[in-house]
């Protein structure tokens, strides 16, 4: 792994320290909780659950299968076992780290912003008692992080993000977002909160279909990551872009180049906005020009304000 350079790469230590920033962020679900997923609380149930809680005198309506016969025999009256069931809302975070994400002209690379956002969201979920899991894709592989409670799930995700960074300039590689979305659909289940962090540079019909499917059974947030440089062509000059194997020289002074440049960004954004309007997906725009924690705090606060109106 290359040496950590602020804004260009992220270290595990940096992502761990973001736990302190996560205390001021709250992920708000859009759907009403169902009986089996009402938040990170422990509720007492009559009958079988996940963990034994206590024994009390039998009451009408209690499940007779839960009668504690030893206590009943000892006390001469029927007693039943109570169980407590952990009711949590698993949070799954998909981070797209394809080679095009290693770009930025402001505060940080898009890949760095995505990693910081993922860390903040993971810590936020963990602090609320939710299980954390996810998927990390880059130009070479697709890593799955099964959901785990407390710090275990968070740390596994953070380790995977750090390891996903290249140790040298990458070629284009494969665009594996659709593969990642398919894996996310497989490991998540109805009632989960799913968050996808990407610049969606290679989004196609298959990706859009997967996003619609995810939005149909989970609270889906799409974090659209962009750099201000992508929104408008630079001034007149000659610029070189690309990867080591594919370099492209662009003369940015012509109106044609400026129109194509602008259309590329707005077209992608409008496509995501349309997808959001047609489904239950919530779109959040995130720029490399601002700190990750400030943007998340503002984004979720705005969602709460809109839902209250």
Both tokens assigned to 282 = 């919530």
pLDDT value of position 305: 65
pLDDT, mean of residues 19-30 = 80
Question: With b meaning 16 or more CB within 10 Å and e meaning fewer, what string describes 127-139?
Answer: bebbbbbbbbbbb
Give Rg (Cα) of the chain.
Answer: 23
Measured from the Cβ of residue 99, the count of other Cβ atoms closer than 10 Å reads: 21
Q: How far, in Å, CA of 281 to CA of 125, rounded?
A: 19
* pLDDT band per the 50, 70, 90 thresholds, residue 169: low
Both tokens assigned to 258 = 């400026």
**What percent of the chain has pLDDT above 90?**
51
- 3-class SS of residue 41: strand
Spacing of C-alpha 274 from chain mean position: 21
* pLDDT band per the 50, 70, 90 thresholds, residue 42: very low
* pLDDT band per the 50, 70, 90 thresholds, residue 50: very low
Which comes out higher in pLDDT, residue 270 or 262? 270
* pLDDT band per the 50, 70, 90 thresholds, residue 139: confident
Map out the domains of the chain with their CATH numbers. 12-23+88-308 (3.40.50.410), 41-87 (no CATH)
Smallest CA-to-CA distance from 191 within 306, 91, 86 is with 91
Residue with tokens 């300039």: 169
For 50, 109, 113, 284, 296, the CA distances from 119, given in Å and listed in that order, are 29, 15, 10, 17, 11
Lowest mean pLDDT among 20-34, 43-57, 116-130: 43-57
Question: With b meaning 16 or more CB within 10 Å and e meaning fewer, what string describes 103-113?
Answer: bbeebbbbbbb
pLDDT, mean of residues 270-291 = 95
Q: Sheet containing 282-287: give its strands across.
A: 142-148, 132-138, 91-97, 193-198, 219-226, 282-287
* pLDDT band per the 50, 70, 90 thresholds, residue 33: very low
pLDDT above 60 (res 254): yes
pLDDT above 60 (res 96): yes
The mean pLDDT of the chain is 83
- Beta-carbon contacts of 144 under 8 Å, excluding residues fewer than 6 positions away, are 133, 134, 135, 183, 187
Could you tell me the pTM of the whole model?
A: 0.78
């Amino acid at each position: 792994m290359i040496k950590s350079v602020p804004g260009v790469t992220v270290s595990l230590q940096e992502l761990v320290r973001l736990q302190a920033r996560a205390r001021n962020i709250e992920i708000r679900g859009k759907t009403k909780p169902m009986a089996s997923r009402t938040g990170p609380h422990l509720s007492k149930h009559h009958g079988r659950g996940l963990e034994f809680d206590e024994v009390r005198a039998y009451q009408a309506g209690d499940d007779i299968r839960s009668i504690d016969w030893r206590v009943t025999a000892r006390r001469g009256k029927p007693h039943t076992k109570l169980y407590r069931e952990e009711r949590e809302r698993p949070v799954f975070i998909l981070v797209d780290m394809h080679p095009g994400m290693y770009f930025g002209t402001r505060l940080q690379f898009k890949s760095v912003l995505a990693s910081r956002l993922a860390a903040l969201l993971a810590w936020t979920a963990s602090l609320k008692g939710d299980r954390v899991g996810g998927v990390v894709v880059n130009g070479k592989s697709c890593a799955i992080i099964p959901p785990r409670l407390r710090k275990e799930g968070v740390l596994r995700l953070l380790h995977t993000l750090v390891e996903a960074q290249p140790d040298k300039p990458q070629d284009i590689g494969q665009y594996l977002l659709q593969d990642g979305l398919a894996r996310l659909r497989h490991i998540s289940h109805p009632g989960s909160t799913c968050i996808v962090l990407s610049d969606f540079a290679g989004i196609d019909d298959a990706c859009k279909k997967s996003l619609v499917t995810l939005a149909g059974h989970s609270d889906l947030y799409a974090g659209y990551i962009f750099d201000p440089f992508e929104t408008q062509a630079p001034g007149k000059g000659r610029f070189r872009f690309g990867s080591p194997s594919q370099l492209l020289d662009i003369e940015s002074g012509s109106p044609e180049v400026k129109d194509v440049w602008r259309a590329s960004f707005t077209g992608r954004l409008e496509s995501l906005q349309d997808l959001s309007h047609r489904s239950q997906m919530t779109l959040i725009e995130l720029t490399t020009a601002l700190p990750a924690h400030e943007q998340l705090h503002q984004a979720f606060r705005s969602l709460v304000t809109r839902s209250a109106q």
